[in-house]
Structure 1
Amino acid sequence: MLEDDHFNDLKKYNLFISHNGEGNEEYLEFIRRLVEARDFQWKDHGIPGKNSPDDLRQQMDKADVVIILSGLYSKHYDLIKNQVDLACQLNKPIILIRPYGLEEVPAELEKLAKGVVGWNKVCIVEQIEESFVDK
Protein backbone atom coordinates (compact mmCIF):
# COMPACT_ATOMS: atom_id res chain seq x y z
CA MET A 1 0.00 0.00 0.00
CA LEU A 2 1.33 3.42 -0.91
CA GLU A 3 1.57 5.99 1.85
CA ASP A 4 -1.02 8.15 0.06
CA ASP A 5 -3.42 5.19 0.00
CA HIS A 6 -2.90 4.71 3.75
CA PHE A 7 -3.68 8.39 4.36
CA ASN A 8 -6.84 8.15 2.25
CA ASP A 9 -8.01 5.16 4.31
CA LEU A 10 -7.81 7.09 7.58
CA LYS A 11 -11.00 8.32 9.23
CA LYS A 12 -11.42 12.08 8.98
CA TYR A 13 -12.43 13.74 12.25
CA ASN A 14 -14.71 16.76 12.00
CA LEU A 15 -13.85 19.11 14.84
CA PHE A 16 -14.93 22.47 16.15
CA ILE A 17 -12.00 24.05 17.98
CA SER A 18 -12.84 26.97 20.24
CA HIS A 19 -11.48 30.25 19.04
CA ASN A 20 -11.60 33.92 19.79
CA GLY A 21 -10.24 35.36 16.58
CA GLU A 22 -7.33 35.17 14.18
CA GLY A 23 -3.84 34.89 15.58
CA ASN A 24 -4.49 33.69 19.13
CA GLU A 25 -1.28 31.97 20.30
CA GLU A 26 -2.97 29.15 22.20
CA TYR A 27 -5.26 28.37 19.24
CA LEU A 28 -2.35 28.45 16.77
CA GLU A 29 -0.23 26.18 18.99
CA PHE A 30 -3.08 23.69 19.29
CA ILE A 31 -3.56 23.63 15.50
CA ARG A 32 0.20 23.09 15.07
CA ARG A 33 0.06 20.04 17.33
CA LEU A 34 -2.80 18.52 15.36
CA VAL A 35 -0.95 19.15 12.10
CA GLU A 36 2.10 17.34 13.50
CA ALA A 37 0.07 14.30 14.64
CA ARG A 38 0.87 11.25 12.53
CA ASP A 39 -1.89 9.26 10.85
CA PHE A 40 -4.60 11.69 11.92
CA GLN A 41 -6.89 13.40 9.43
CA TRP A 42 -9.07 16.19 10.70
CA LYS A 43 -10.91 19.32 9.71
CA ASP A 44 -11.64 22.28 11.96
CA HIS A 45 -15.06 23.69 11.19
CA GLY A 46 -14.54 26.61 13.56
CA ILE A 47 -13.89 29.86 11.73
CA PRO A 48 -12.06 32.48 13.81
CA GLY A 49 -13.78 35.85 13.57
CA LYS A 50 -17.20 34.34 12.73
CA ASN A 51 -18.75 34.33 16.19
CA SER A 52 -22.40 35.26 15.80
CA PRO A 53 -24.81 32.68 17.23
CA ASP A 54 -25.88 31.65 13.71
CA ASP A 55 -22.26 31.41 12.51
CA LEU A 56 -21.27 29.28 15.50
CA ARG A 57 -24.27 26.97 15.04
CA GLN A 58 -23.43 26.43 11.35
CA GLN A 59 -19.80 25.68 12.21
CA MET A 60 -20.62 23.36 15.10
CA ASP A 61 -23.37 21.48 13.20
CA LYS A 62 -20.64 20.07 10.91
CA ALA A 63 -18.48 18.90 13.80
CA ASP A 64 -18.59 15.57 15.58
CA VAL A 65 -16.54 16.76 18.56
CA VAL A 66 -16.09 20.19 20.16
CA ILE A 67 -12.65 21.01 21.53
CA ILE A 68 -12.55 23.77 24.13
CA LEU A 69 -9.20 25.41 24.83
CA SER A 70 -9.81 26.21 28.48
CA GLY A 71 -7.00 28.79 28.51
CA LEU A 72 -9.26 31.04 26.42
CA TYR A 73 -12.11 30.78 28.94
CA SER A 74 -10.95 33.45 31.37
CA LYS A 75 -9.78 35.81 28.61
CA HIS A 76 -12.85 35.46 26.39
CA TYR A 77 -15.45 34.22 28.85
CA ASP A 78 -18.65 35.20 27.01
CA LEU A 79 -17.54 33.81 23.66
CA ILE A 80 -16.20 30.51 25.00
CA LYS A 81 -19.24 30.10 27.28
CA ASN A 82 -21.49 30.58 24.23
CA GLN A 83 -19.49 27.91 22.36
CA VAL A 84 -19.78 25.49 25.31
CA ASP A 85 -23.51 26.17 25.74
CA LEU A 86 -24.12 25.58 22.04
CA ALA A 87 -22.15 22.31 22.12
CA CYS A 88 -24.36 21.14 24.99
CA GLN A 89 -27.54 22.18 23.15
CA LEU A 90 -26.40 20.24 20.06
CA ASN A 91 -25.34 17.19 22.14
CA LYS A 92 -21.76 17.40 20.86
CA PRO A 93 -19.12 15.71 23.02
CA ILE A 94 -16.72 18.24 24.52
CA ILE A 95 -13.01 17.64 24.95
CA LEU A 96 -11.41 20.12 27.30
CA ILE A 97 -7.78 21.11 26.75
CA ARG A 98 -5.94 22.31 29.85
CA PRO A 99 -4.51 25.84 29.77
CA TYR A 100 -1.05 25.67 28.25
CA GLY A 101 1.48 24.81 30.99
CA LEU A 102 -1.16 24.38 33.72
CA GLU A 103 -3.08 21.47 35.21
CA GLU A 104 -6.17 23.20 36.59
CA VAL A 105 -9.26 23.63 34.43
CA PRO A 106 -12.43 25.56 35.27
CA ALA A 107 -14.68 23.20 37.27
CA GLU A 108 -17.82 24.32 35.42
CA LEU A 109 -16.20 23.23 32.14
CA GLU A 110 -14.74 20.00 33.52
CA LYS A 111 -18.16 18.70 34.57
CA LEU A 112 -19.45 19.12 30.98
CA ALA A 113 -16.44 17.55 29.28
CA LYS A 114 -16.26 13.99 27.98
CA GLY A 115 -12.50 14.17 28.62
CA VAL A 116 -9.76 16.51 29.80
CA VAL A 117 -6.32 16.40 28.24
CA GLY A 118 -3.09 18.40 28.17
CA TRP A 119 -1.00 19.45 25.20
CA ASN A 120 0.62 16.14 24.25
CA LYS A 121 -0.44 15.54 20.63
CA VAL A 122 -0.66 11.76 21.11
CA CYS A 123 -2.99 12.21 24.10
CA ILE A 124 -5.09 14.77 22.20
CA VAL A 125 -5.54 12.41 19.24
CA GLU A 126 -6.36 9.46 21.53
CA GLN A 127 -9.00 11.50 23.35
CA ILE A 128 -10.59 12.58 20.05
CA GLU A 129 -10.60 9.00 18.78
CA GLU A 130 -12.11 7.73 22.05
CA SER A 131 -14.91 10.27 21.86
CA PHE A 132 -15.91 8.75 18.50
CA VAL A 133 -15.86 5.20 19.85
CA ASP A 134 -18.17 6.22 22.70
CA LYS A 135 -20.69 8.02 20.45
Structure 2
Amino acid sequence: MFEDERDDKIYNLIITNGVDLRNEYGQFTEKLFSKVDFLWKESISGSYANAGDEFYQKVDRIILLAGLYNDNKEVFEELVNAGEKYNIPMVLVRPLGLEEVPEFLEEKAATIVGWNANCIIDSIKDAPETM
Protein backbone atom coordinates (compact mmCIF):
# COMPACT_ATOMS: atom_id res chain seq x y z
CA MET A 1 0.00 0.00 0.00
CA PHE A 2 1.29 3.47 -0.82
CA GLU A 3 1.98 5.69 2.16
CA ASP A 4 -0.45 8.41 0.96
CA GLU A 5 -3.26 5.81 0.68
CA ARG A 6 -2.78 4.66 4.26
CA ASP A 7 -5.79 5.35 6.49
CA ASP A 8 -4.78 5.35 10.16
CA LYS A 9 -8.17 6.56 11.37
CA ILE A 10 -9.82 4.34 13.96
CA TYR A 11 -13.51 4.28 13.05
CA ASN A 12 -15.86 4.27 16.02
CA LEU A 13 -18.89 2.21 15.00
CA ILE A 14 -22.25 1.28 16.44
CA ILE A 15 -23.30 -2.06 14.95
CA THR A 16 -26.88 -3.23 15.43
CA ASN A 17 -27.16 -6.31 17.56
CA GLY A 18 -29.86 -8.10 19.50
CA VAL A 19 -31.97 -11.09 18.49
CA ASP A 20 -29.83 -12.57 15.71
CA LEU A 21 -31.00 -16.03 14.66
CA ARG A 22 -28.65 -16.21 11.64
CA ASN A 23 -25.53 -14.79 13.39
CA GLU A 24 -25.32 -11.86 10.99
CA TYR A 25 -23.61 -9.73 13.64
CA GLY A 26 -20.86 -12.32 14.07
CA GLN A 27 -20.41 -12.74 10.34
CA PHE A 28 -20.33 -8.98 9.82
CA THR A 29 -17.68 -8.39 12.48
CA GLU A 30 -15.64 -11.25 10.95
CA LYS A 31 -15.67 -9.28 7.68
CA LEU A 32 -14.32 -6.22 9.51
CA PHE A 33 -11.64 -8.26 11.28
CA SER A 34 -10.58 -9.82 7.97
CA LYS A 35 -9.43 -6.42 6.72
CA VAL A 36 -6.32 -5.91 8.85
CA ASP A 37 -5.68 -2.48 7.33
CA PHE A 38 -9.06 -1.19 8.59
CA LEU A 39 -8.98 0.06 12.17
CA TRP A 40 -12.22 0.16 14.14
CA LYS A 41 -13.78 -0.10 17.54
CA GLU A 42 -17.37 -0.53 18.63
CA SER A 43 -19.47 1.64 20.93
CA ILE A 44 -22.27 -0.15 22.76
CA SER A 45 -24.98 1.26 25.00
CA GLY A 46 -27.57 -0.51 27.10
CA SER A 47 -30.08 2.04 25.83
CA TYR A 48 -29.38 3.99 22.67
CA ALA A 49 -32.41 6.18 23.38
CA ASN A 50 -30.86 7.32 26.66
CA ALA A 51 -27.24 7.60 25.53
CA GLY A 52 -26.33 11.25 25.50
CA ASP A 53 -24.33 13.76 23.53
CA GLU A 54 -20.99 12.59 24.93
CA PHE A 55 -21.63 9.04 23.70
CA TYR A 56 -22.81 9.94 20.20
CA GLN A 57 -20.27 12.68 19.50
CA LYS A 58 -17.55 10.00 19.41
CA VAL A 59 -19.38 7.78 16.88
CA ASP A 60 -18.30 7.90 13.22
CA ARG A 61 -20.84 5.52 11.65
CA ILE A 62 -23.94 3.55 12.57
CA ILE A 63 -24.08 0.13 10.91
CA LEU A 64 -27.62 -1.16 10.40
CA LEU A 65 -27.70 -4.91 9.73
CA ALA A 66 -31.02 -5.11 7.89
CA GLY A 67 -31.39 -8.84 8.54
CA LEU A 68 -31.87 -8.08 12.23
CA TYR A 69 -34.56 -5.43 11.71
CA ASN A 70 -37.73 -7.51 12.15
CA ASP A 71 -36.67 -8.87 15.55
CA ASN A 72 -35.11 -5.62 16.84
CA LYS A 73 -37.25 -2.77 15.50
CA GLU A 74 -37.04 -0.69 18.68
CA VAL A 75 -33.21 -0.67 18.65
CA PHE A 76 -33.19 0.26 14.96
CA GLU A 77 -35.59 3.13 15.55
CA GLU A 78 -33.45 4.42 18.44
CA LEU A 79 -30.33 4.29 16.27
CA VAL A 80 -31.98 5.93 13.27
CA ASN A 81 -33.25 8.72 15.51
CA ALA A 82 -29.78 9.17 17.00
CA GLY A 83 -28.16 9.11 13.56
CA GLU A 84 -30.45 11.88 12.38
CA LYS A 85 -30.11 13.94 15.55
CA TYR A 86 -26.29 13.77 15.64
CA ASN A 87 -25.70 13.67 11.85
CA ILE A 88 -24.02 10.28 12.01
CA PRO A 89 -23.93 8.54 8.62
CA MET A 90 -25.80 5.24 8.60
CA VAL A 91 -24.53 2.32 6.52
CA LEU A 92 -27.28 -0.18 5.73
CA VAL A 93 -26.09 -3.77 5.18
CA ARG A 94 -28.46 -5.92 3.16
CA PRO A 95 -29.81 -9.05 4.85
CA LEU A 96 -27.42 -11.96 4.33
CA GLY A 97 -28.33 -13.65 1.04
CA LEU A 98 -31.12 -11.20 0.17
CA GLU A 99 -31.35 -7.98 -1.85
CA GLU A 100 -34.42 -6.35 -0.31
CA VAL A 101 -34.12 -4.03 2.66
CA PRO A 102 -36.87 -2.44 4.74
CA GLU A 103 -37.98 0.73 2.98
CA PHE A 104 -37.89 2.72 6.24
CA LEU A 105 -34.17 1.96 6.60
CA GLU A 106 -33.38 2.48 2.92
CA GLU A 107 -34.75 6.03 3.13
CA LYS A 108 -32.57 6.87 6.14
CA ALA A 109 -29.27 5.25 5.10
CA ALA A 110 -26.40 7.23 3.63
CA THR A 111 -25.36 4.12 1.70
CA ILE A 112 -26.43 0.49 1.20
CA VAL A 113 -23.95 -2.36 0.90
CA GLY A 114 -23.88 -6.14 0.55
CA TRP A 115 -21.53 -8.62 2.22
CA ASN A 116 -18.28 -8.14 0.34
CA ALA A 117 -15.63 -7.12 2.90
CA ASN A 118 -13.97 -4.58 0.58
CA CYS A 119 -17.31 -2.97 -0.27
CA ILE A 120 -18.25 -2.81 3.41
CA ILE A 121 -15.01 -1.02 4.31
CA ASP A 122 -15.35 1.37 1.36
CA SER A 123 -18.95 2.16 2.37
CA ILE A 124 -17.91 2.92 5.93
CA LYS A 125 -15.04 5.14 4.84
CA ASP A 126 -16.95 6.92 2.07
CA ALA A 127 -20.37 7.37 3.70
CA PRO A 128 -21.42 11.00 3.35
CA GLU A 129 -20.92 12.95 6.56
CA THR A 130 -24.34 14.60 6.39
CA MET A 131 -27.58 13.62 4.81
Query: For this structure pair, what is the TM-score category when the shorter chain's length is used for normalisation?
Result: 0.7 to 0.9
Deviations along 1:60-117, whole A, 9 cap, x unmatched?
Answer: 3321111111111111111211111111111111100001110000111111111000
Secondary structure at the aligned position of 2:13 is classed as strand
Gaps of 5+ in 1: 1-7
Which of 53, 61, 75 lines up with 1:79 in the alignment? 75
Q: TM-score, normalized by length of structure 2?
A: 0.82
Q: 1:26 to 1:58 in 2, by over 3 A?
A: farther
Secondary structure at the aligned position of 1:66 is classed as strand
Cα RMSD (Å): 2.5
Q: Partner residue of 1:4? A: none
Which of 13, 16, 38 lines up with 1:15 in the alignment? 13
Larger helix share, 1 or 2: 1
Residue type at the aligned position of 2:15: I
Which 4+ runs in 1 deviate beyond 6 A? Answer: 21-24
Residue type at the aligned position of 2:17: H
Contact 1:46 1:59 in 2 (8 A): no
Residue type at the aligned position of 1:42: W
Q: 1:90 to 1:9 in 2, by over 3 A?
A: closer
Which of 14, 26, 29 lines up with 1:28 in the alignment? 26
Comparing 89-98 with 52-61, greater Cα deviation is found at 52-61
Matches of 2:40 and 2:96 in 1, distance apart? 21
Q: Partner residue of 2:114? A: 118
Identity %: 35
Shift of 1:58: 5.4
Shift of 1:38: 3.3
Matches of 1:52 and 1:93 in 2, distance apart? 16
Q: TM-score, normalized by length of structure 1?
A: 0.80
Gaps of 5+ in 2: 1-5
